[in-house]
Amino acid sequence: MDLKSILSEAYGDRRFAFSRNPSFRQQQAEPSVPFRPNLSRSDSSIGIAPTAAGDDDDELLWTLGGGGGGGGESKGTLLSAVSSPLTSVIRAARSGSRPMKRLALLISLNVAYSLTELTIGLLTGRVGLVSDAFHLTFGCGLLTFSLFAMTASHKKPDGVYTYGYKRLEVLAAFTNAVFLLFMSFSLAVEALHAFIQDESEHKHYLIVSAVTNLLVNLLGVWFFRSYARVNIVYRKVEDMNYHSVCLHVLADSIRSAGLILASWFLSLGIENAEVLCLGLVSVAVLMVILPLFQATGSLLLQMAPASIPTSALSKGHRQITALEDVCEISQSRFWELVPGHAIGSLSIQVKRGANEYLILQYMHGLYHDLGIQDLTVHIGYI
C-alpha cells in the first residue's frame, strides 16, 4: 500500500489538523517552511510537547485545605482534605454545584440520625441500634469520600498527578460498589442466621429505626433521581460518581424496606418471613450494584475501552501493518482514563529511512476516528 497516495486523498480532512494533544514535538517554523516533526534517526520514541495550563474555568469551586499547585503542595492538599472530611462537607454546603450541596445535606442528615441512634442504643442497651448506627456511620464516610472526589477532580494536572485528579471519582464509585457488595453478603449471612435462630426473638423495635432511615434515604434517591437506574451510559466521570451515590442510598432504602416488611410479616405470624425478606433484599442489592462494580473495576484495571469495539482496534492494527514502511506493531495498549477519555500507546517497528511524519499523520487520523483522544507512538528502526 502506498502511504502517500492514501494521505493525498485525506488532505483537507480536519482530522489531520492535530488540534488534540500531539504525540510528537512540533517545531516553530515560518509559514513558508513545511512542517516536519522534530525527530532524529536514533530516536526510539516521540516526545510530547508540554501543554499549556487549562482555562480558569477549571479552577476548584472551592479550595480544599488551602494550597496551590506544586507537587508537594498537592500531596498536602489531598492529605488535609482526607483528614478533615467534616470541613469538606461544610464547605460544599456553602458553595459548589447543586449535586454537591444535595450530597452534603444528605450526609448531614445521615450523620445526625446515626448519632441519635447510637446515643439511644447506648442509653437503652439495645445492641441492634448500636450496630445499625455504625453501619450508617460507615456509609456516611463513603458518601463523604464521594463528595471529596467531586471537588478534588476539578484540580488541574500537576507534576505529581500528570493526568489530573478525575480518577478520584472512579475510585469513589468503586468504593461505594465494594461496600454495597459487602452489605449484600452481610444480609445473606443475616438471613441464614435468622433461619437458624428462633424468630420469636426478633427485635420489633428496629422497625422505627428502619422507617426513619428509609425516609432519609428516599430523600437521597429523589436528589439523584436522574441516576436511579441500574444500567447507565457514563458520558463523563461525574456521571459514574453520581450514579454510585444514588445506588448507595437506593440499596440502603431497599434494606430498610426489607426490614420493615419482615417485621410486618412477623407480626402477622408468617413463618420464615425474615429469612425470605433478607434473602430477597440481598439478591436485589447484588443485582443493583453489580453493573457499577464491573464498570468501575474495568476502568481501574485499565481494560480496553468498552466504547470501541475490539474488531475496530484489530482492523486499525491491520491497516497500520499494511503500510509500506511499517514492519510490525510490537506493542499496543488502549485504556480509558475516565469515561469518555480513551488513551492509546503503540510501539511500531519501521524501516530505516522511512518518513515518520507521514506514518504518524496516518496513525493519528486513524485512531482519532476510532475515539482515541491521547495517542503516544514509540518508533523503532529495523
Helix 98-124 × helix 206-223 angle, to 10°: 170
Position 103 scores a pLDDT of: 92
Q: What are the structural domains of the chain? A: 3-38+306-381 (3.30.70.1350), 62-300 (1.20.1510.10)
Q: CA-CA distance, 249 to 6, in Å (whole number)?
A: 54
Rounded-to-integer distance, Cα 314 and Cα 45, Å: 23
User: How far apart, in whole angstroms, are the C-alpha atoms of residue 4 and residue 355?
Assistant: 10
pLDDT bracket for residue 243 (50, 70, 90): very high
> CA dist 18 to 22, 26, 110, 365, 379, Å?
6, 10, 50, 9, 19
Q: What is the pLDDT of residues 222-231, one digit of tens each?
A: 999 889 888 8
State mean pLDDT over 239-244: 94
The model's confidence at residue 172, banded by pLDDT at 50, 70 and 90, is very high
Q: Which long-range contacts (CB under 8 A, 24 or more apart) does 326-332 make?
A: 326/350, 326/354, 326/359, 327/351, 327/382, 330/380, 331/378
**Mean pLDDT (whole number) for 269-273:** 80
pLDDT digits (tens, 9 = 90+) for 131-153: 888 989 999 999 999 999 998 88
- Give percent of the chain above pLDDT 70: 73
Which is higher by pLDDT, 80 or 239? 239
Q: Model confidence over 87-104: pLDDT tens digits? A: 655 665 566 788 888 999
Average pLDDT over residues 330-345: 92
- pLDDT reported for residue 204: 61
pLDDT band at residue 64 using 50, 70 and 90 as cut-offs: very low
List, for residues 5-36, the tens digit of each pLDDT value: 554 454 444 333 333 443 443 333 344 444 44
Give the pLDDT confidence of 174-208 residue by residue, as tens digits: 999 999 999 999 999 988 887 887 654 556 667 88
Higher-confidence residue of 275 and 47: namely 275
Q: Any idea which of 11-15, 85-89, 303-307, 342-346 has the lowest mean pLDDT?
A: 11-15
pLDDT of 52 strictly over 70? no
Is pLDDT at 66 greater than 60 in this prediction? no
- Average of pLDDT values for 318-326? 90
Strand partners, 374: 343
- What's the confidence (pLDDT) of residue 250? 94
Q: Which DSSP string do the residues of 79-141 spell out, in sequence order? A: HHHHH-HHHHHHHHHHSS-HHHHHHHHHHHHHHHHHHHHHHHHHHHT-HHHHHHHHHHHHHHH
Work out the burial of residue 44: count CB atoms within 10 Å of its CB; fewer than 13 is exposed, 13-18 middle, 19 or more buried: exposed
- Answer with the residue of higher pLDDT: 50 or 225: 225
Task: State what percent of residues in the chain have pLDDT above 90.
Answer: 42
pLDDT at 45 over 60: no
pLDDT, residue 82, reads 46
Average of per-residue pLDDT values in the chain: 78
pLDDT at 259: 86
